[in-house]
Structure formats: structure tokens, C-alpha cells
Amino acid sequence: MYDLGIIGAGPAGYAAAIRASQKGLSVVLFEKNFIGGTCLNRGCIPTKTILHCCKLYIELKNSEKFGIEAENINFNFEKIQERQKNISEKIRKSLTNLIKSYNITIIEEEAEIETETLIKTKSGCYEVKNIIIATGSKPNKIKFNGNYNDSFILTSDDILNINTLPASILIVGSGAIGIEWARILSSLGVKVCIIEMMDKLIPTADYEVSERIGRIFKKNKIEFYTSTTIESIEDKKVTLSNGKIIEPDNILQAIGRLPEKIAGNLSKKIEGSKYINIQNNYQTNISNIYAIGDINGKSMLAHSAMKQAEDLIDYIITKKIIEFDKDKVPAVIYGTPEIAYIGKTEQELIEKGIKYKKSFFPIAALGKAYAEDKIEGFIKILATENEILGAHIISEEASAMIEQIAIAMGNNIKPKNISDIIFAHPTYSEGIHESILALDNLAIHIQNNK
């Protein structure tokens, strides 16, 4: 009998398996598709690989301003796609070896929960003391009104397997997936139109982030419409709810993700209509069965899933109460410039009547940004005297800068303590220092308009 049976080897599952083994538990890990889950094979890593290719391509096209002469700059999309698949494969092999190094049994078959202590696969049965469900999620795909060929509609999985770029595309949804693919496709010459049913781009972001991204998209000739849906589709003629008719080569659905269902006789007794219902410490309604990662719907991000995994293993061993604070989970949308945020938006603070101070520091005030011609963006901090409530960044290296705020928030560090730290110059990170100083109108590199 194993101490732990884990279903799903994505970030939640493999992190739980490794941490459990480090703590002395015996583990069997089940995965019906690829080790690494969506993030490694159909999400984070492939898209970031493609985005980096796009970034290099754009920088080479604009290299003359840096004194670099380059002619006949072009790209081969088929090779870009081949590269992202090769990168995922290399990391997957490395990850598999990493998991095996901890003496974790890997079963690459679909797992079914038969009883509270029995997991069944096609080739055998496995007795376990505890079960962790970490089956992740899949792209949400809805049916539109009208008549069209299903191949006309792509998901984030499908688009990773095309080798020919469409001339034009309609992206439905402006979350992380929609924004990143808009940036990828636009940079490669595809005519991009985004529609978003909510009243702003990136609905979860602060309104000033959404507004700035809209300006950047207009500058880059990415068409977008908010408060808009698809009314109907006839062949490739798409009628939008705002009355506009467009004829894209493809539609990319980027409307969120749905949890992957679990199989087996006992699965029907585990409560949850869409996501699996969890109590304290990620327990389902069956005391020795837990659910972490996308499947519980608390925070559908890979790094959040890994943190849930680490905390859960500690709980199983020590019964230490888990305190998961979604406000302290950073979110990043990649591309140029990066978008990153954590904590409360300004709208949320206003709606809840929470008093706050606000700073707004332009990236154009940083010397390093000018040196690299990356002056687009800002850093926005929302805080009180004693704590940072939220941070919202559009900038080169935003993904790194948001971690500095995450460390401060996670350790209850006061803004004053950050302002006392010496930040290296020239860096993008010194923008964090200036933003904290700006809460009290003490930033050195913001013009005095009084």
C-alpha cells in the first residue's frame, strides 16, 4: 500500500509527489497524457517559447535604431512550432527523470477512483492511504449559433499544432490566453481582432492596466471590442453583437478553462458541480481525498497549484492548517511589454470602502528603459501606511518586479521598509523603489507639477 496516490502529473500533481517523497512518503503518480500537464505541454512553456521567438523577430526588424544593420529579416512559422514542441519534450524528459529520482512510481494510464483506498487503471489496482486529485483543466469550447465547419474554431490546444498562419483571426476572450496569442499572431503579421464580453480588456486586471493595454493594441493595429459577443456564424462570416460583420480565417476561443473530470465508481460521490468542492486544507467531502490545482477552481495558475501541493503535503504529515490567500498570488501575462499584478485592484478597494494611497510611476522615467527602448508602461502601487494592498505593472521585466511585491506582501513588509532598501541602478526594479516613495510624493524621478 502506498501512502499517497496522486492523479494528474501537472504542476500540482508532480510537485505534491516530489514534496511527499522528500518527507518520506511512498507515492504512486498517475498521468493519462503527458508528464507536466497543460502548463508544460499545451500552455505556459510552449507559448513562452513562441513569444520569445516573436520578441527576437521584432527586435531584429527594429535593430537599425540600435546601430545594428540586418537585412532580409524573416521567420519560419513551421520551425517556430517545431521549436516549442522540442522545448516541451526536452523539459518533459528532464521532469520525468526528476520525478523518478525520488523513487516515485509513475503510471502513465488513466486512473479511476474505485474506493477511498483503491485506484484502478487498465493494467492494475493500487492501494493507497490518501488520494490527491490534481487532474487540471482543459480549454472551454462553446457552440455558436449558425452553420460552420468545426475546424474553423480553434482552442489554445489546437493552435499549437498549426503549421500555417492564418491571414486573419478573431480571438474570443481577453484573458491571459487571448492577450498572449493576440501578441504572438499580430507580431507575425496576422490581422487580429479581439472581442471581450466584459466591459474592459483583461477583466481581472486593474482598470488602468486595461486602458493602457487598449492603447498599446491600437498602436499595434490590434482591433478589439469590449462588451461584445458573437451573435452568429455562417460559414466564415461572423456577426458580432455590436452589429459588425467580419470574415476571419479562424476563430480562437480563449474563454477560460474547464476542470478535467475524474473517473471511477467513487468519483460520483465526490461533491462538486463544476469544480470539486473543497473544505479546509483542500479536503473533499471524503476525508482522505483532496483536490488541488485547477480542479478546485481557487486559482487557476501553475504556481498557485504548486503552492497548494506543498501546503497540502505538510498538512497530511503535520496537520498544519493551510492559509491560502488568493490576494498574494501574482499573475503574469507575457509578451512585450509584460503585464503583472497582485492583490486588490483600485476598483475593488473603492467598492469595499477601503482607504488607500496610490502611486503611479511611468516606466519612461527609468534610464534602463530608455537604454533598451522599452519605455512603455507604468508601476501602480496601492497601499496603506502598514501594508501593500495591490500592485499593477506594465513593463519589461514586470514578471520579475511583481515578485518583489509578492515577497513584501507575503511577509507583511511595510512600504516604509521597502523605501529604506537600496536598489541597483540602472534597473527596472528601481521603479519599485520609486513607486513606494511616490506613495508619499517622495519619488526622485517624477516631475514636480505643484
| 78 dihedral zone (left: phi>0; alpha: psi -120 to 50; beta) | alpha
What gap in Å lies between CA 44 and CA 91, rounded to an integer? 12
Copy the grid coordinates of residue 328: 498574494
> Three-state SS string across 76-136, please?
CHHHHHHHHHHHHHHHHHHHHHHHHCCCCEEECCCCEEEECCEEECCCCEEEEEEEEECCC
Residue of 21, 26, 23 whose CA lies nearest to 4: 26
Name the catalytic one among 52, 303, 392, 425: 425
d(CA 321, CA 327): 18
Tell me which amino acid residue 362 is: P
80, 208, 294, 351 from 179: Cα distances, Å: 19, 16, 20, 27
Q: How far apart are CA 89 and CA 93, in angstroms?
A: 6
User: What are 30's strand-pairing partners?
Assistant: 7, 107
Catalytic status, residue 425: yes
Q: What does 50-83 look like in DSSP terms, one character per residue?
A: HHHHHHHHHHHHTGGGGT----S----HHHHHHH
The span from the CA of 316 to the CA of 25, in Å, is 10
Residue that has been written with the C-alpha cell 486595461 in this structure: 210
Query: Crossing angle, helix 302-318 and helix 11-22, to 10 degrees?
Result: 30
Cell of 204: 481581472
Please give the grid coordinates belonging to residue 324: 491560502
> Cell numbers of 250, please?
479562424
C-alpha cell of residue 175: 484573458
Q: What is the DSSP annotation of 269-289?
A: GS--SSSPP--GGGB-SSTTE
Radius of gyration of the chain measured on its C-alpha atoms: 24
CA distances from 414 to 141, 363, 407, 408, 429 (A): 44, 23, 11, 8, 18
Among residues 100, 105, 97, the alpha carbon closest in space to that of 1 is found at 105
Would you say 119 and 128 are in contact if contact means Cβ atoms under 8 Å apart? yes
Residues carrying an active site annotation? 425
